[in-house]
Structure 1
Amino acid sequence: MDDDTALASYRSDLPGPLGWIDTGIARLEAFLLAAGVLLMAANTIANVVGRYGFGMSIQSTEEVNRILIILITFAGISYAARHGRHIRMSAIFDMLPGPGRKALMITIALVTAGFMFVLAWYSWGYLATTFSRGRILPSLQIPLWWTLVWVPAGFFMTGLQYTLTAIKNLLEKDIYLSTNVLEGYSDDSDQEV
């Protein structure tokens, strides 16, 4: 994949500021997921080499991997929403005519966005509570709340993604599962446009 193709996959076709937001979220998701997976692999490999090669484990490996799992999970829910990869129960949706499917997709996207924003709000409250308690991780000696920052951020980014999906469906004549994935079935596992 050349640089133009890689950059094009991060460009939104939504108009104006909505496109900028969509593109920014896509780049942030890609960076967080790639960095999280690579760091977790490097951390795990270093620990295995240390344990079996030198007879000493890295003390904070489990804590670092726990932090990275939280990061990957909550950046991943936004990424999955962007690529239309969340589980869908589509029996009723598939039976509806085009306008009904479009209205249902907009409703689903808006309701899901609402739930994601509510979860972001509650997880922000949990983060604030954790911050006020002043707990620290035993091995890394960093505040526990630092590890939880990704939870409200991931829910918020997912809520934005579903909101942008609803807007995309309001602006376009086709039905979109996300801002760049058309509704429908194909033999390809990747249906991006």
Structure 2
Amino acid sequence: MSESTGEAPTPNGGVLAVLKRLDDGLSLVERQLLGWSIVLMAVNTVANVIMRLGFSSSIFFSEELNQFLIILVTFVGISEAARMGRHIRMSAFTDMLGPKSSKVMMIIITLGTAALLFLLAWYSIGYVSSLIQSNRLTPALRIPYYFTVLIVPFGLTVTGIQFVFAAATNIFKPGTHLSYQVEDTFSDADDHHL
């Protein structure tokens, strides 16, 4: 065991190194999208309030733009939440199992969640395809409606990838991990459930 890091070197360290590089790249893209979307929503909302109060007229596309940005923040944000281990989970049962059994359950849960997210991404691609064929335009901005939901398959896929990363981390690293970056902690009392 390495004294400096507190972790045993793993024979599959190369797999985790590749995952880390991919995760770092995804994180950069996601944080930029989230940050700029929130800034744009704030600017859009403040500008619309100023227009309404000062000129008694709203910006005609303000509400529509904010709806698009909310979709973007939601579906990119779920990936960031998964990366940081902040997703909703029902842990009462797994906490009773103890660390070793909890690790096995976490692998099963993360792989199952990833499979579900990939399935939803597949269905969302079908939905986007149907919107492309419909040629619908948004009411205010008059852009193709499918542009507004293109982020949904991306967000679901990237979140699925986060859960695959979490499963791989649980397989290749000691401890139970909620995500690639976040390890679950157990108290000493939990160790007696083994």
What is the TM-score when the length of structure 1 is the normalising length?
Answer: 0.86
Alignment match, 1:110: 111
Alignment match, 1:126: 127
Partners of 1:14 and 1:168 within 8 A in 2 = no
Give the AA of the match of 1:129: S
- The answer to whether residue 168 in structure 2 is matched with residue 167 in structure 1 is yes
Partners of 2:85 and 2:182 within 8 A in 1 = yes
Alignment match, 1:69: 70
Give the CA deviation at 1:24: 1.1
- The answer to whether residue 19 in structure 2 is matched with residue 18 in structure 1 is yes
Give the CA deviation at 1:83: 0.9
Q: Residue 87 of structure 1: SS of its match in structure 2?
A: coil
Give the AA of the match of 2:67: R
Alignment match, 1:84: 85
Give the CA deviation at 1:23: 0.8
Give the AA of the match of 1:45: V
Residues 42-53 of structure 1: pairs in structure 2 closer than 5 A: 42-53=43-54
Greater mean deviation of Cα atoms: 64-73 or 88-97: 88-97
Q: Distance in 1 between matches of 2:103 and 2:154?
A: 29
Q: Distance in 1 between matches of 2:99 and 2:17?
A: 28
Partners of 2:99 and 2:186 within 8 A in 1 = no
Greater mean deviation of Cα atoms: 162-171 or 25-34: 25-34
Higher relative CO (CA 8 A, sep ≥ 6), structure 1 or 2? 2
Alignment match, 1:148: 149
Alignment match, 2:33: 32
Give the AA of the match of 2:179: S
Q: Residue 135 of structure 1: SS of its match in structure 2?
A: coil
Give the CA deviation at 1:160: 0.2
| Residues 34 and 95 of structure 1: CA distance in aligned 2, closer, same or farther (over 3 Å) | same
For residues 22-58 of structure 1, give each alpha carbon's deviation from its aligned partner in whole angstroms, at most 9, with x where no partner exists: 1111111211111111110110000001111122210
Q: Distance in 1 between matches of 2:98 and 2:44?
A: 51
Q: Distance in 1 between matches of 2:16 and 2:109?
A: 22
Alignment match, 1:98: 99
Q: Distance in 2 between matches of 1:91 and 1:70?
A: 31
| Equivalent pairs, count | 174
Give the CA deviation at 1:14: 6.4
Structure having the higher Rg: 2
Q: Residue 165 of structure 2: SS of its match in structure 1?
A: helix
Greater mean deviation of Cα atoms: 24-33 or 72-81: 24-33
Alignment match, 2:184: 183
Give the CA deviation at 1:124: 0.6
Q: Which residues of structure 2 form unaligned runs of 5+?
A: 1-13, 188-194
Q: Percent sequence identity over matched residues?
A: 45
Give the AA of the match of 1:44: T
What is the RMSD of the two structures over their aligned residues, measured on CA atoms? 1.5
Alignment match, 1:10: none
Q: Distance in 2 between matches of 1:64 and 1:71?
A: 11
Stretches of 4+ moved more than 4 A in 1?
none
